[in-house]
Chains A and B, each alone.
Chain A
């Protein structure tokens, strides 16, 4: 404001003073004078008083040696200041200097008019007055304004060329591939490999935003008067923990050869509204097309019509068997220690196998090798802490993350007796150690443990736990050949402790252990071929269950099902082949083999007869490690991409997969105690073929991604259950099972906007999934041998995640989900048979439970963005299920006293507000 007054004040005297002085001529001579001494000499010679800031001359090192004769003061000063950034203004024997800016003596003619729509790059730019950036300058106090060139009266071009380098502030190394953008001007460029850039910048005040992966975004405020150079320095992410932003290459959507891949950047999901204040990777995954939850608070998810056991969940290469806490309300993977998740639902790379439908490849973060740092979160139900610290600076680091509930404590505070005795608690912890021994050797170790304990009824306690170990040694044999040697062990167990004080009390448990070794090599032959090959071998040990009475006088007969053991191995090879600019092919081949091993007894059934206890013709005994049965086969994985233009492509793929381990779960289940069963003499591995085709288009400089993908999947030997089957503690599970054919197809639409004030995605999926169990035998037939919808057939699904950023600090986000209700088998009547009343059930999955929809809203407040701040905080206020929709979680039927009753369980039928506070340090 002061500057405006000054300007006006000066303008008022202009006509008078300037006319008086302009004709005075002087002669003067300088010899090796710097600018300051030169001006002092001019002062002495002319008697004019100069006003300036001494600091302005600090940069002016050119010495002046020149003589002027009969020159006007005006011309003399023009000459002296020609190569400097200084301007001057003469008034009343006074000379007022200014740096960069000119002091204007009149407003330009077009100052108050709207700018002409002229294309000429000359004389049309307006002079820049200080008030334009007056207020902004204050808020940019940290970096201030950088002046490019000197303002020259009357010779302004409309735009100038700005060039320079993008450098790391610490190392001063040039950084390539940074995006340089002129804010609000739709002008941008990408820095070259040597870090240099060139950008056409409009005349005047501009904000230059520079962004680069793993670096803090830098913003420079520049005043452009001329062509000039500007080197921009970027801070590496001050805290590596929070900035391991695995950003998709902007054009990955279009150019990647593999279709049906999604990457979740864990840092970004923090804005998505939360339930009970927890970020959840899997919940975000289910907002992507093709990935659905089986229900609210349900542990599994269904990928492209696959069963919930057909997803390979890898945490640092180790298989995670139970991915959820609290019946599926929280994911067992701590989001604060996770860097990213790659989800393969279309073509699965040849290096993965053992599951039919998808791979969730979760990578945890590394500790910060430079300094101690961490993150803490406090939510309504859980709190968590993760700390990263260097062990050997710049070489080895450790990351420790723990998460736990305090619901147990809350429960204890309550008056209600029933609730007081309830339990609901979980814990998970992860330790990751990362050691970069030398450029060619890198070692990583992950230890993970999660545990759940809760009660559904007051007399039973459920427990389950996952324990994982993963060791990885990455060795570079050469620049082109890199191999990972991986060893993992996963242990999953659950237990029900049922104690109602009577003789019925029992203890029931299940345990699964798998140990795996992988050698995975990447070999880049040349720019056209990239090979990936290796082998993996996995040993399963399963204790399928025991049931022990808890009291001596118990009527329960102890049950102990024999242990199961199997070895699953695979060899694989794939070539990522770039045929030409337009065509890229990924050819993968995997051969997997599986052997069920003794010690075991297996029943042999009569041929051409239903597999039930009636038709057992022999019981075979197998010695320890004797091969019971071997299955295996080739699993080709082929994907192809054709690029129409730089931002439009088509991709197709064919995949075959085998799965040797099955989750036993029937649709009425409400229990988290589903057991995994290994293939054996009578249970064959599942098999799937998937064809997919997709069209991909990017708009607006890759900011908007559009895609449509279709798939058709045919499966064999899918597990289904006989009518009347019971799965728990079955000696010969095959007598309860059916292995049928499945088919699934669908179309997935996705619109995604990656950046900007409004970002997020919107997906719609139409998908169907069916299974068929046909047989000449009555008890092996379901729905008369026709295809019928599976338990998770939900034809329509809409999901939207939208974030709107008001400012850098405040944003609002919303999450909307709609799903068709899942199929269910209803009782449809009663009948009397042999004097007893029975319930008649409909065809399997003939009816559907009501549709599911839910809207969540979250409001996020980030702490301020000062780089030097000690800690960085983040608040999230979320409302889950804003509409209060009473979504059924399950509908089930209980027969008591010969009466059948239907019950509906719903969770969160009211809006649930939560508040979470996170801090990073």
Chain B
């Protein structure tokens, strides 16, 4: 009888398992697919613009899934030709891995450009002919808006091409904001090198580097594409960024650089496909995977796949700055990145409540959790604050960008 019950249970277990496969998709397991599916393919990122500068082209190769190292293709002969028989040659810049044009140049309207690459193994590649897209100047301004009940700053990008010939746009932005540590002390604590006691003693010395004012710079991490196809007017009215009023990044001074690339229909489609392919797919938004064809081909083997689209695009960029009070005259300042609560630690070693070892560890650590804020005169107790509050370099960079205007 016992056996029988056991048997029936077993049966139902299997049956349940079977039924629930549908209902909870518990039969989905991670699948390890063969690593021999890896395809090493040339990746060319080349966008020649109408800015007069040393143009940059990145030539790399695909790498295995799950790996992080991108592999630069070195030793290639990279040059751009135009319809006026100009030849712009590029050289590998060792530290960045990029191919940089020997001389500054800019794309000009009316000429067609072609990218040519000969890799060190002798394969030659070339792009289709591209012409400079039309120019459309942008304007960028911050606005105070309320989105879904949340007040904040919106960075609005506007442009207007009266000829209505641009139509396809790709945007990039780079935001930089000032970070000032609120609980900053011009001095810091070091272990007295001449201390002789059983336990270390400390000295208060002035800080040797900028730790109060820092600047953080971040690039947009998404492809921002706008099409005006089918519209009567070629206007851009794009809220490119929204910053919550409670966000610490606008606490002090904020700057954003927006770059607008005018694309052609084909390059726009290329980027759009790239974007959909990288979108997280869910049950509700299935995306058809496949190879996204660009405009660069192997001259001898048209079947060889090459990633990338050689673009010649006009670019328009604008940087703006604003302080919190410029936008929000009355609103309270947003909080700092972390809560700046001070902590008093007893600088003693033996009795109960002593925190001598904790203090020593904080002072000696290269990346301390907390930093020195102040001390009692007799150094019997020392006050600490969380690192960002006393040292902005723990979360930002103390190098002031060249473009920064206070």
The residue on B at minimum CB distance from A897 is B280
Of the listed stretches B189-197, B246-254, B281-289, name the one at the interface; the rest are far from the partner chain.
B281-289
The answer to whether A841 touches B269 (Cβ under 8 A) is no
**A778-B295, A843-B291, A902-B33 are contacts. A329–B22 as well, Cβ < 8 Å?**
yes
The answer to whether B37 touches A903 (Cβ under 8 A) is no
The answer to whether A723 touches B286 (Cβ under 8 A) is no
The answer to whether B19 touches A784 (Cβ under 8 A) is no
The answer to whether A728 touches B284 (Cβ under 8 A) is yes
A164 on the interface (CB 8 Å rule)? no
The residue on B at minimum CB distance from A903 is B28
B207 on the interface (CB 8 Å rule)? no
Distance between Cα atoms of A58 and B295 in the complex (Å)? 105
The answer to whether B32 touches A907 (Cβ under 8 A) is no
Pick from B23, B60, B272: contact of A423, CB below 8 A: B23
Of the listed stretches B301-309, B322-330, B352-360, B395-403, name the one at the interface; the rest are far from the partner chain.
B301-309
The residue on A at minimum CB distance from B15 is A380
Number of interface residues of A (CB under 8 A): 99
The answer to whether B37 touches A842 (Cβ under 8 A) is yes
Distance between Cα atoms of A779 and B32 in the complex (Å)? 30
B270 on the interface (CB 8 Å rule)? yes
Complex interface: chain B residues within 8 A of A614 (CB): 167-168, 227, 229, 265, 268-269
Pick from B30, B37, B287: contact of A901, CB below 8 A: B30
Q: B304-335 CB contact bits vs A (8 Å, 1 = yes)?
A: 01011000000000000000000000000000
Complex interface: chain A residues within 8 A of B217 (CB): none
Pick from A612, A668, A829, A894: contact of B65, CB below 8 A: A829
B349 on the interface (CB 8 Å rule)? no
The answer to whether B23 touches A847 (Cβ under 8 A) is no
The answer to whether B43 touches A831 (Cβ under 8 A) is yes
A832 on the interface (CB 8 Å rule)? yes
Distance between Cα atoms of A697 and B30 in the complex (Å)? 49
A871 on the interface (CB 8 Å rule)? no
CB distance from B102 to the nearest CB of A (A): 24
The answer to whether A830 touches B20 (Cβ under 8 A) is no
The answer to whether A414 touches B16 (Cβ under 8 A) is yes
User: Which residue, of A842, A899, A910, has the highest number of chain B Cβ atoms within 10 A?
Assistant: A842
The answer to whether B15 touches A912 (Cβ under 8 A) is yes
Complex interface: chain B residues within 8 A of A6 (CB): none
The answer to whether A726 touches B43 (Cβ under 8 A) is no
CB distance from B258 to the nearest CB of A (A): 15
Distance between Cα atoms of A797 and B21 in the complex (Å)? 26
Distance between Cα atoms of A888 and B28 in the complex (Å)? 10
A893 on the interface (CB 8 Å rule)? yes
The answer to whether B274 touches A838 (Cβ under 8 A) is yes
User: Which residue, of A411, A454, A724, A911, has the highest number of chain B Cβ atoms within 10 A?
Assistant: A724
Complex interface: chain B residues within 8 A of A553 (CB): 148
- Complex interface residues of chain A between 491 and 534 (CB less than 8 A to chain B): 496, 498, 508
The answer to whether B23 touches A907 (Cβ under 8 A) is no
CB distance from A73 to the nearest CB of B (A): 72
A276 on the interface (CB 8 Å rule)? yes
A560 on the interface (CB 8 Å rule)? no
Distance between Cα atoms of A667 and B170 in the complex (Å)? 30
CB distance from B180 to the nearest CB of A (A): 28
User: Which residue, of A414, A615, A895, has the highest number of chain B Cβ atoms within 10 A?
Assistant: A895
The answer to whether A830 touches B63 (Cβ under 8 A) is yes
Distance between Cα atoms of A305 and B42 in the complex (Å)? 35
CB distance from B239 to the nearest CB of A (A): 15
A840 on the interface (CB 8 Å rule)? yes
Of the listed stretches A338-346, A455-463, A576-584, A704-712, name the one at the interface; the rest are far from the partner chain.
A455-463
The residue on A at minimum CB distance from B21 is A907
CB distance from B50 to the nearest CB of A (A): 18
The answer to whether B62 touches A913 (Cβ under 8 A) is no
**A667-B288, A668-B281, A830-B67 are contacts. A908–B21 as well, Cβ < 8 Å?**
yes
The residue on A at minimum CB distance from B293 is A778
Complex interface: chain B residues within 8 A of A894 (CB): 280-282
Distance between Cα atoms of A555 and B148 in the complex (Å)? 8
Distance between Cα atoms of A670 and B285 in the complex (Å)? 11
The answer to whether A727 touches B286 (Cβ under 8 A) is yes
Distance between Cα atoms of A867 and B91 in the complex (Å)? 95
The answer to whether B29 touches A903 (Cβ under 8 A) is yes
A836 on the interface (CB 8 Å rule)? yes
B159 on the interface (CB 8 Å rule)? no
Distance between Cα atoms of A667 and B281 in the complex (Å)? 13
Distance between Cα atoms of A833 and B46 in the complex (Å)? 10
The answer to whether A910 touches B17 (Cβ under 8 A) is yes
Complex interface: chain A residues within 8 A of B283 (CB): 456-457, 460, 670-671
Distance between Cα atoms of A778 and B293 in the complex (Å)? 6
CB distance from B362 to the nearest CB of A (A): 33
B278 on the interface (CB 8 Å rule)? yes
Complex interface: chain A residues within 8 A of B41 (CB): 829, 831, 840
The answer to whether B18 touches A907 (Cβ under 8 A) is yes
CB distance from A558 to the nearest CB of B (A): 15
- Complex interface residues of chain A between 701 and 745 (CB less than 8 A to chain B): 721-728
CB distance from A289 to the nearest CB of B (A): 29
Pick from B23, B303, B307: contact of A422, CB below 8 A: B23
Of the listed stretches A217-225, A228-236, A467-475, A820-828, name the one at the interface; the rest are far from the partner chain.
A820-828
The answer to whether B279 touches A895 (Cβ under 8 A) is yes
The answer to whether A668 touches B287 (Cβ under 8 A) is yes
B45 on the interface (CB 8 Å rule)? yes
CB distance from B271 to the nearest CB of A (A): 9
Complex interface: chain B residues within 8 A of A913 (CB): 11, 14
Further pairs besides A614-B229, A779-B273, A833-B45: 9, Cβ < 8 Å: A669-B286, A670-B286, A721-B288, A779-B293, A784-B303, A826-B33, A830-B62, A832-B70, A914-B15
Can you report 30 A-B residue pairs in the complex whose CB atoms are below 8 A from each other? Answer: A276-B18, A326-B22, A407-B19, A410-B19, A411-B20, A419-B20, A454-B22, A456-B283, A457-B25, A496-B284, A613-B227, A614-B269, A616-B230, A667-B288, A724-B273, A724-B287, A724-B288, A726-B276, A829-B65, A831-B60, A831-B70, A833-B307, A834-B172, A835-B219, A838-B277, A840-B39, A840-B291, A842-B37, A895-B280, A911-B14
Query: What is the interface of chain B, defined by CB distance below 8 A to chain A?
Result: 11, 14-25, 27-33, 37-41, 43, 45, 60-67, 70, 148, 167-168, 172, 219, 221, 223, 227, 229-230, 265-266, 268-270, 272-295, 302-303, 305, 307-308
**List of 3 A-B pairs having minimum Cβ-Cβ separation, nearest first:** A904-B31, A422-B23, A723-B290
